[in-house]
Amino acid sequence: MSFISKGFRGRRPPVDPARVPPGQYVTSDFPVLSAGPTPHTPPEQWSFTIRGAVDSPRSWTWEEFTSLPSETPKVDIHCVTKWSKLDTVWSGVSIDTLMEGVATEAGYVTAFCDGGYTTNVPLTDLTGGRAWIALGFGGEPLESEHGGPARLLVPHLYFWKSAKWVRGLELTIADQPGFWEHYGYHDYGDPWREQRYQGD
Amino acid sequence: MAGAALPGRLNWALADVVELRDETPRVRSIVLGCSSWPGHLAGQHVDVRLTAEDGYQAQRSYSIASAPEDEQLLLTVERLEDGEVSPYLVDQLRPGDKLELRGPIGGYFVWRNSLGGPLLLLGGGSGIVPLHAILRHRALSGSSTPARLLYSARSLSEVIYGEQFAALASGGELDLRYTLTREWPSGWGGHRGRVDEGMLRTVSWAPEEHPLIYVCGPTGFVEQVAGGLVALGHDPGAIRTERFGPTGG
């Protein structure tokens, strides 16, 4: 039983509460959070790589990557800093498309990024139509402060898993904590089980 | 209360509201007593949870303003006009009330003595809060690391912790610079207007001196300052940022 804060009424979400995970509130803004300066990598220097515990690494240039089949997922996103944003529309390449034909024994993935950010996700959470490399948001190219030119999009996990400025996926046999996970954030990060921090 | 963040589950704890201090018309500091607090590092934050009578709950994160050495935990909260939690904390909370919190959280936007310096802190608005914790920790731990602060506020009346910073500056503990973005008194000797590259060049140490840089404020401030420092040649890896979205609550 939680302590009742006398006189606190709060706001109820303006949507079906079943769409809002515990401890979250709905916002129409798109707050920005990141641990360092925003990197700006020009397209000619950009590439995307799948490496690590795979039969052979593969890599795409910006031109090759933007020629891959694109999808436009409409998803709800949930940030560990408590905001949720509903019905966001992205465009991007499904991880299933990128993983086609890749042979691997790996169970986990470390997404790596410009600026040195990393995050860990089980491989099965990135496949099966549940994750994308997003290049667009709301019909426009993804802004750099929101992770452009490309960010990972894994909407069913807290949004720090949707790594900004992503440059590739390192497949690993064992789960290896990424940047925020190293500082005490949860290794899996399911918003519906409120897995914000280690031990949750 | 000195000590590092402890690994393991972060449990909710009930803290006692000991005192409330008006910092500015929109900002209040909350002095908390919390016997089960495990200690924190300067720059970390806590989650605060409010529960309504019908069981509805709301959570928000707030930076810790006190140093690890302080006996009591200090939170400084700005009332956001469209906020859900901050108006309650700023306007309704009274001494003797209790507040549920858990933490400390975050381990990157922190400074401890052993990280060295020189220390370049740039704060916008209520983004000054974790920088206050860092400066207080620096003073209380007896550090001789050179420290410089650029504090961007709308006007002098919106400056938080002005007296504390002035005391550190007059004791030679802090090189204190202000920029006022909307209003300034006649004869104002500090900077005027939003931070730009010229101001950053004036205020920062040269990249060759390898300052450790902490930037905290609204997104626009952080983008401008962190981007400007990178353009001046500072190592992006030495620039730690923390951003307050417009919906911090």
Tokens of A54: 């795979």
Contact B68, B39 (CB under 8 A): yes
Indicate the residue of A8, A33, A145 with minimum beta-carbon distance to B52: A8
CA distance B66 to B71: 9
Over pLDDT 90: what percentage of chain A? Answer: 91
B237–chain A Cβ distance below 8 A for any pair: yes
Domain boundary among B105, B124, B146: B105
A126 pLDDT above the threshold of 70: yes
What local confidence, expressed as pLDDT, does residue A33 receive? 83
- pLDDT tens-place string over residues A143-161: 999 999 999 999 999 999 9
Query: Is residue B230 one of the residues assigned to a domain?
Result: yes
Which of the two residues, B81 and B187, has the higher pLDDT score?
A: B187
Q: Residue holding tokens 């921090």?
A: A197
Number of domain units in chain A: 1
Query: Is residue A140 one of the residues assigned to a domain?
Result: yes
Query: Is residue A23 one of the residues assigned to a domain?
Result: no
Closest CA–CA distance from residue A114 to any residue of chain B (Å): 11
Task: Provide the residue type at A31 as one letter.
Answer: P
What local confidence, expressed as pLDDT, does residue A13 receive? 78
Query: Is residue B2 one of the residues assigned to a domain?
Result: no
- pLDDT tens-place string over residues A23-46: 999 998 888 888 999 999 999 999
B7 pLDDT above the threshold of 70: no
- pLDDT tens-place string over residues B45-80: 999 999 999 999 999 999 999 999 999 999 999 999
Computed over every residue of chain B, the mean pLDDT equals: 93
- Order of strands across the sheet with B191-192? B191-192, B175-180, B147-153, B119-124, B212-218, B239-244
Number of domain units in chain B: 2
What local confidence, expressed as pLDDT, does residue B82 receive? 86
- Same domain (yes/no): B101, B118: no
Q: How many A/B residue pairs have CB atoms within 8 Å?
A: 122
Closest CA to B111 of B123, B103, B122, B119: B119
B249 pLDDT above the threshold of 80: no
What local confidence, expressed as pLDDT, does residue A31 receive? 82
Closest CA to B179 of B122, B136, B224, B232: B122
Domain range for A188: 46-193
- Give me the CATH number covering residue B188: 3.40.50.80
- Same domain (yes/no): B66, B170: no
Query: Is residue A35 one of the residues assigned to a domain?
Result: no
What local confidence, expressed as pLDDT, does residue B2 receive? 37
- Same domain (yes/no): B71, B148: no
Helix (H, G, I), strand (E, B) or coil at B244: strand
Q: How far is CA B198 from the centre of its chain?
A: 24
Query: Is residue A6 one of the residues assigned to a domain?
Result: no
Domain boundary among B57, B88, B105: B105
Domain range for B197: 113-244
Query: Is residue A30 one of the residues assigned to a domain?
Result: no
Domain boundary among B105, B122, B151: B105
- Give me the CATH number covering residue A165: 3.90.420.10
Closest CA to A8 of B144, B60, B73: B60
Contact B105 A9 (CB under 8 A): no
Please provide the distance, in angstroms rounded to a whole number, between the alpha carbons at the two ends of chain B. 28
Query: Is residue A22 one of the residues assigned to a domain?
Result: no
Can you state the angle between helices B162-170 and B128-140, rounded to 10 degrees?
40
Average pLDDT over residues B25-46: 96
Indicate the residue of B7, B14, B56 with minimum beta-carbon distance to A3: B14
What local confidence, expressed as pLDDT, does residue B247 receive? 40
Contact B245 A184 (CB under 8 A): no
How many other C-beta atoms lie within 10 A of the C-beta of residue B3?
11
Closest CA to B72 of B130, B12, B137, B15: B15
Closest CA to B63 of B18, B126, B11, B118: B126
Contact B59 A8 (CB under 8 A): no
A93 pLDDT above the threshold of 80: yes
Average pLDDT over residues A74-83: 95
Query: Is residue A34 one of the residues assigned to a domain?
Result: no
Average pLDDT over residues B220-239: 96
Beta pairing class for A151-153 and A132-137: antiparallel
ipTM: 0.92
Over pLDDT 90: what percentage of chain B? Answer: 92
B95 pLDDT above the threshold of 60: yes
CA distance B122 to B195: 10
Contact A30, A89 (CB under 8 A): no
What local confidence, expressed as pLDDT, does residue B244 receive? 75
Average pLDDT over residues A8-25: 90
Query: Is residue A4 one of the residues assigned to a domain?
Result: no
